[in-house]
Amino acid sequence: MSAYEQTIDTTPSLIITEPEKVPTMTPGQTLESISLKISEVVLRAGTPRWWFGALLVSSAFAVGLLFALTVLVFKGIGIWGNNQPVGWAWDITNFVWWIGIGHAGTLISAILLLLKQEWRTSISRFSETMTIFAVVCAGLFPLFHTGRPWVAYWLFPLPNTMGVWPQFRSPLVWDVFAVSTYFTLSVVFWYIGLIPDLSTMRDRAKSLFVKKIYGMVAMGWRGSTRHWSRYETACLLLAGLCTPLVVSVHSVVSMDFAVGIVPGWHTTIFPPYFVAGAVYSGFAMVLTLVIPARKLFHLEDFITMKHIDSMGKVMLTTGLIVAYAYTFEPFFGLVYSGNRYEKFLILNRAFGPYAPFYWTLILCNVITPQFLWWRKIRNNTVVLFMLSIVVNIGMWLERFVIIAISLHRDFLPSSWGYFKPTIFDILTFSGTLGLFMTLMLLFLRGMPSIPMFELKTSLPQVHLAGHPAQGDFEQEVAS
C-alpha cells in the first residue's frame, strides 16, 4: 500500500459509513483493496478448473464454426438452407442479432459516460469487450454470405487497376462502412480505457515476463498529470464520436430491409424499432455474462445489486418500446396500410407455417419481461439471469420472423417456399456462440474485467482528501 493510501485509510473522519455514498461498490473499500481484488482475478497463480472446462466446451463449438466455414468456401453457400425465395435466412438473422448485442457496449461506455451515470462504471468493460467480440461474430455472416470472402476488399473504395468500385446504393456497402466504423471506434475506446489498469497490472505482476507484456501494452503509462489530461480528452472525444453510432449503426442495418419492397420490410418504423431492440438484447447479454462472472470471480463487492437493478430497469424500458412496435405492426398492416400484401403478411405471421415462432417471440419479448416491474425480480440474480436468456432467444426469433416469414411468401403464390436450417446453419451459428465465449473467457483470465481507476474515483475519501479524482493513485504517487 502506498503512503498516500495509508494516510487516507487511517483517517477516521474519512471512513465510509453510508452505503448510498458509494453506489458502485460495497462499503469499506479502499484504494488498495480495489487494486488487490480486481488484479488478483488475473494475477493469481492457479486457474479455476471450471474455466478450463468452459474453455474446452466453447472451443469445441468454435472448431465446428471453422469446419462449417471451410466446407462453405469449397462448396458455396448452398450448404446452408438458403433457397428461393428465402435468400436471406439464418445468416442474416444471426448478423442482425449479433450486431444488436454489441449495442449495449457503446451505450454504457459512451452515452452513460457523457450523462455521468456512476452505475455504469463496474459493467462498462464487460459491455465494451462484449461489443468487440459480438461485432467480430456478426461480420462473419455477411462476409461468407457473399460466397466470395476472399474478394471482400472490393467493398471498400480502394484504388485498383480493374476499376472495381463499390455500389454505394447497395445496402451491403452501407453495412460495411457502418459496421467497420463502429468496430474501429469501439476497439480504440476499449483499449484506451484499459491503459491505466494495464499499468497497474504491470506494477503488481510478480513474473518478469508478465511485467514486460503488460508494460508493452500499457504504452509507458506513468499516471502523470499530462497523461491524465490527454486521457480525459481522448475519452470524451471518443465518447462523443461513439454516441451517434448507437443510433446510426443499427438504423443502417434496418434500412437493409426498409429500402426493399418486400411486405413487412418497407416501413419507416424499422430504424427506431431496430435500435430499441438492439439495446434490449444488448443489455440482456450483459446480464447473461455479468451475473455468473460476478459470482465465479467473486466480484460482488464491485458489481452490486444496484448495477443489476439498473440494467433490469433499462431492459424493462427498451422492452416496452419493442412491445409498442409489436402492437402497432398489426395496426399498420391490417388497418392503416390498405395493402393486401401487408394484411396477408400479418395474418401469415400469426397463423401461417411459422406461427409457433411468432407466438414464442411474443412470449419472450413482451410477456416475460413484464416481471421486471417488480423489484424482487430485478434483485433476484437467478431469475434475472434466466430472463436475460429468454430475451436473447426472443430477440433472435424476432430477427428470424422478420426475415424468413417476410420472404417465404411474398407476392406470387407460385414462388412460395419454406426455409429449413441445415446442419451447417446450426454449426455456423453455434460456432459463433462458441467463438464469442472463447474470446470472453480468455479476456476475463488475461485482462482486468472492471476498470479499477474508475472505481477509485467514486471513493469519498479520494474527494475529501483533495486528491485529483482520477486514475491509479498508486502509480501517480510513486511517480
Instruction: For residue 117, give the CATH number of its domain.
Output: 1.20.1630.10
Tell me how far apart the terminal alpha carbons of the chain are, to the nearest angstrom.
15
Q: Which candidate, 87, 107, 108, 90, places its Cα nearest to that of 98?
A: 90
At 465 the pLDDT is 46
d(CA 300, CA 312): 17
At 224 the pLDDT is 83
Contact 146, 309 (CB under 8 A): no
d(CA 100, CA 273): 11
The predicted model scores a pTM of 0.86
Neighbours of 413 (CB within 10 A): 7
At 93 the pLDDT is 92
Write the CA distances from 202 to 129, 207, 452, integer angstroms. Answer: 20, 10, 14
CA atoms within 13 A on the CB side of 393: 16
Which residue range(s) make up the domain with 182?
3-478
pLDDT in tens, the chain (479 residues): 443 344 334 333 333 333 344 456 777 777 778 888 888 888 877 788 899 999 999 999 999 999 999 999 999 888 998 888 888 889 899 999 999 888 877 777 777 777 777 787 888 888 889 989 999 999 899 899 988 888 888 888 888 777 778 888 888 888 888 888 889 988 998 998 888 888 888 888 888 888 888 888 888 888 788 888 888 888 888 888 888 887 888 888 888 888 888 888 888 888 888 888 888 888 899 899 999 988 888 888 888 888 888 888 988 998 899 898 888 888 888 888 788 888 888 898 889 899 999 999 999 999 988 999 998 888 888 999 999 999 999 999 999 999 988 888 878 888 888 888 999 999 999 999 999 999 999 998 888 888 888 777 777 655 544 444 344 444 443 43
Q: Which candidate, 277, 210, 225, places its Cα nearest to that of 250?
A: 277
Task: Quote the longest CA-to-CA distance of the chain.
Answer: 82
d(CA 385, CA 284): 8
**What's the domain count of the chain?**
1
Contact 100, 274 (CB under 8 A): yes
User: Cell for 332?
Assistant: 399498420
Q: Is the peptide bond before 460 cis (omega within 30 degrees of 0)?
A: no
At 462 the pLDDT is 58
| Dihedral sign, Cα of residue 318, residue 320, residue 326, residue 328 | negative
Neighbours of 67 (CB within 10 A): 14
Contact 25, 458 (CB under 8 A): yes
User: Cell for 439?
Assistant: 474470446
> 205-224 burial string, b = 16+ CB within 10 Å, else e?
beeeeeeebbbeebeebebe
User: Cell for 224?
Assistant: 502523470
d(CA 19, CA 308): 16
d(CA 221, CA 199): 6
Q: Is the peptide bond before 85 cis (omega within 30 degrees of 0)?
A: yes
SS3 (DSSP) at 3:
helix
